[in-house]
Every structure is written in C-alpha cells, then in structure tokens.
A and B are shown apart, each in its own frame.
Chain A
C-alpha cells in the first residue's frame, strides 16, 4: 500500500521526527527517554521493525493499515446493522449527543474523518437545516423582512436550505464510502455532502480549511494517532474545533465486568451469526481495549515508580484512564482547552479541543 510507506518517509524526513524520541504519558517523565528509542530504532525505509497492536495481536505497522482496511471492507455492508446490535441502538444517542455538543450553525464546514457510512455527516446536515429554518422563522417573527434575493430564491425553489454548510466525509476505505453514498440517496440527503477517499495521517486538504473536525469511532484504527491529530490541527481553521467520539475506559468495576463480558462473549457471536465474520468483530472489541497503548504506559509507570505488583494491579482501574491519556495526546498535537465528557459511565467519551 502506498499510503503507509509514504507515511514512513514523511515521519523520518520531517514531521514526525519528534515521535521517534519516544514519550510516555506519565505525570513525572514527559519526553525524558530520548536515548532509549533513538538507539534501537533502525532508520530503514523498507519493512519497519516497529510493531503496533492489531487488537490483541502484535503486527508490524505496515501490516496494521492493510489489516484494518480488510476488516472494514468485510463489515461495510452490515456495519450499521452490527452497530445497532452491538450497542443495542445506543450508538444513535451517542452520535446525537456529539452533534448537540457541536451545535453547528448554518455555514459550518465540517470534516467527518473515518466517516464511512455517514452517520455524523447526515446528523450534521439535519441539525444545520433545522437551525437554518429556525433562524428564518425568527427573522420573520421579529418582523425583519427577508432580503429580495432570498424571496426570489424561495419562489424559484433555489434556496440553500443548509445556509452554506458543507459536510465532507473522508474515509480510507472505499467500501464504507460506497455504503455511505447509497445511504445518502436512501435518506434523501442530496446537497451539502462531499465524499473523499483519504488517509487520516495524510489528509488531502489544504491548511485552515474546516471549521469542525470530527472522528467518531475511527481514531483507534489509525496506525499513528499522533499524526492524525497533527493533521486535524493543520486542516482546521484558527478557532476550529476538534471533536472525537471514541470508546473509553469504564470506571465502575461492576459495569466494567458486564461490559467486558458482553463485548468478548456476545459480540463476536453476533458478528458470526449476522455477518458470518467472527474475526472482524473480535478485532473491533479488542481494539477498544488496546487504545491507546495503555499496556506500555502502565508498564512504564510501574517500572519508573517501582510500584509493587499487587498495588499496581489494584490501582489499574483508576490509573488506566484512557480519557486522560488521550487528552494528553490531543494537547501534544497543539490543541487547547481540551476537555472530555464521559457518556454511559465511560463506555464512550467525547473529547473536544480548539485550535487557537
């Protein structure tokens, strides 16, 4: 695949060099291990020796991209049905909450990354349309007349019901985009959508071109998350907002156990019965647990602070707050005023940051 290899070149030539110095997300030792990784990493541009996680498997970074592509190619047609089954329909509420938090006004340029089947984009368009109508009604109520242009357009049925808003759906997977386009036709969304094939680590857009960047349930599938975050920072206009809806760590131990039981026992079975694909759904539930690379950061914490094993295990629930780890990553990419909000006791979290 061309995309990952050019990413490798890019990393070593320019943008991502600071990543190679290695950093751990711990309160005491930020960016304090440059010697450890520079020595061990080979700068060969062939097959990278670096490994990453693919669910609970360890694969080379080059492989992860193509494996993830295959997973989503397999699940694309039944993606929405499986989402409903896996989350018992709750994912719709999560996505609605994301849009409500975004509160986009007519005229907003949205980039929905990993937006495949278009759930966020469609909700955005409906919201913006409703907002536009409200604004017009408010204008009429306060006896402000519409301009002649608007009245003329109304009679000619040419008015832009979206008020100039545009949702760009970008995804690395062609199959997902195909499903999304078909859904758009089925649901009657004809205007205000653009479909782009692109890689989150290397976006095909100019700097400072979007007002809002969202990525819903997609960032854990990206091989180099920090690069995706940097790209998000680049394409946003100053004042633009970054929003990420992603699975997080559940804090409550009882709910956590039920959630794990449901994830690992039931979801692959549902995947096998409905979609005939056990492995893709096993990857999906595992990738939730492995994101971001908490094992590494936890081990590092234990080693650095010489925490005794027993105590370390007991405190893992409070330490492994993915939400905090990811917040730090977003801040590292240059965003400010980064906050997060837990939904459904932490099963998902919405992270928000601004480019100022």
Chain B
C-alpha cells in the first residue's frame, strides 16, 4: 500500500475523510457506512452502481470508441471474480509472486528512458520505446483504478493495463482499431476478463470489411493460438527483462511472429 502511495504523482488527496455521523438519517456515501478508502483513488460503489456503471460504460465505449476510460471502467466493474483468479495465478508463479510483492509500475517517472535508449536494437526495452514513439502513446495516459473494492486486485488490474502496451510490443500490433481488437482477443484467451471478451466480440463492429476479412481469416486464429500457448503474461517481470532480445522473449512465451504487416489497414 505504501509503494502505491509513493509512486503516485503528488496530489492533494482528500482521502482522510472524517466520518461525520450526524444523528440524522442523512444518506451518506458508501464509505461512511464502513467501507473506507482502500487506496488513493478508490471510489466505493454499491452493487447497483457497479451494474449501472458496467452497462453505461459498455454502451458508451461502443458509441464512442475513443473513450478509453469507459473500457477501463467496464473492466473494473465486471472483473472481480476473474481478478481473484488472476491474482491466485500470479501467487503460484515465482516471478508473479515477486511482482505482487514489489508492485512495480510502468510510467514515465519509473522508466529510465536514457537507459532504454542505449540498449541494443532488438531488445525488449528498445522495441518498447520504438512502439511508444511510432504510435505516439505514453504509459502515463492510463487512468488509475477506481472502482475495484480490494487493494491487491486494484493493483492486479493496474498491472494488466500497463502490461497491455508490452503486449502490443510482443505481438507487434499497432494501436489502431484492428491492432487493439487482435490484442483484445489475445488477452481474452489469456486472462478471461469479461471486458476483454466483450471487447473482442464487439470491437470488430467498428471495422471496415477489408479489415474484417483479414481479422477473421488470419489474425484471430493466430491470436487465439498464441494466447493458449503462452503462459500468463502478467507473470512476466518486464522491468527486469529490458535487455532480453525480443525474439528470445517471444520464443520463451511461445508467441509466433505476426502473420502480416497490418499497418495500412483499419
């Protein structure tokens, strides 16, 4: 818990809410009924709120795919069982258990960019940086977890989100709609998170027929095959493997190279 607090960017947190209990039966926030704030950005929610949020987030994500925060919210509100399963998976594996213990975060403040730049071509670190540059993304655009009611599971889902970019690098998929759908298929098979499954099933709705053809004929079978073959990707301590060549890591995980260069599509 302390590591989470330290690694967060400094902000004034109103997390020390005094539990003012008037004698009157004024409806209070869920937290004042006993649920404290478990981590800095925690927003306690009732089951009804979680259901409404899940439905609303799913609808909004479909209506406006640029609302990445809605996809994140959908994941948080629907994933409680799966996250527990994933956490247990992580505990069983030695590298995963180490991650749970040390709670590393991938963000611009924790990454040593100059060191990653200096790594040889073809290494994980260098390829990851290239991926960030080519697609013009940053690891800091991930919203923090808010609606998960368990502090460890909140970290698990945060780790899953940060690993998402690493998966893009491993699978060689760009961040356009098609690439995202392929990665979602991979993640759906790997993690079983309801949000991934929903994203995998409904994501293709927004693609052009040209891309759909490629998707169904080649990319999805490839993603499913690799997803089944690879061990749980959350168990890889990426921060300790920056120097490892990407091809070697792919071999270790049993990920075959992508079938086609799909930069032009979607």
Contact = CB atoms under 8 A, between A and B. Distances in A.
Interface stretch (A8-16, A175-183, A263-271): A263-271
B17 A269 contact: no
Interface stretch (A90-98, A166-174, A312-320): A312-320
B23 A58 contact: no
Given A266-B52, A278-B43, A57 B17 contact: yes
Nearest to A264: B27
Nearest to B28: A56
A295 B24 contact: yes
B53 interface: yes
A302 interface: yes
A-side interface mostly: helix
B69 interface: yes
A316 B26 CA distance: 10
B8 interface: no
Contact of B26 (A270, A276, A289): A289
Contact of B56 (A270, A286, A298): A270
A265 B49 contact: yes
A292 to B, nearest CB: 14
Contacts of B217: none
B69 A313 contact: no
Contacts of A260: 27
Interface string A280-315: 001000100100001100110010000001001100
B32 interface: yes
B195 to A, nearest CB: 15
B27 A58 contact: no
Interface in A174-215: none
Contacts of B153: none
Nearest to A260: B27
B23 A299 contact: yes
B10 interface: no
B57 interface: yes
A263 B17 CA distance: 21
B24 A56 contact: no
B23 A276 contact: no
A266 B26 CA distance: 17
Contacts of A320: 24
A313 B23 contact: yes
A260 B23 CA distance: 18
B22 interface: yes
A273 B49 CA distance: 12
A287 to B, nearest CB: 13
A268 B146 CA distance: 13
Interface string A51-88: 00000111100000000000000000000000000000
Contact of A276 (B32, B48, B69): B69
Contact of A313 (B17, B24, B27, B146): B24
Contacts of A312: 23-24
Q: Interface extent on A, as a size class? A: 20 to 34
A266 B48 CA distance: 9
Q: Pick from B18, B23, B32 the residue with the most CB of A within 10 Å.
A: B23
Contact of A265 (B26, B52, B59, B73): B52
A289 to B, nearest CB: 6
Given A260-B27, A276-B69, A278-B43, A269 B49 contact: yes
A269 B47 CA distance: 12
Nearest to B32: A56
Interface in B32-76: 32, 43, 46, 48-49, 52-53, 56-57, 59-60, 67, 69-70, 73
Interface string A104-136: 000000000000000000000000000000000
A322 to B, nearest CB: 12
Nearest to A266: B52
A272 interface: yes
B20 interface: yes
Contacts of A265: 46, 48-49, 52
A264 B52 CA distance: 12
B14 interface: yes
Q: Pick from A265, A282, A298 the residue with the most CB of B within 10 Å.
A: A265
B24 A278 contact: no
Contacts of B69: 276
A273 B22 contact: no
A209 B149 CA distance: 55
Contacts of A279: 43
A298 B22 contact: yes
Contacts of A270: 56
Given A56-B28, A272-B57, 7 more contacts: A57-B14, A268-B49, A269-B53, A273-B53, A276-B67, A278-B43, A316-B25
Interface of A: 56-59, 260, 263-266, 268-270, 272-274, 276, 278-279, 282, 286, 289, 294-295, 298-299, 302, 309, 312-313, 316, 320
5 contacts: A273-B59, A273-B60, A289-B26, A299-B23, A316-B25
Interface of B: 14, 17-18, 20, 22-29, 32, 43, 46, 48-49, 52-53, 56-57, 59-60, 67, 69-70, 73, 146
In the A-B complex, list the 4 residue pairs whose CB atoms are closest, starting with the nearest: A273-B56, A295-B22, A269-B52, A260-B27
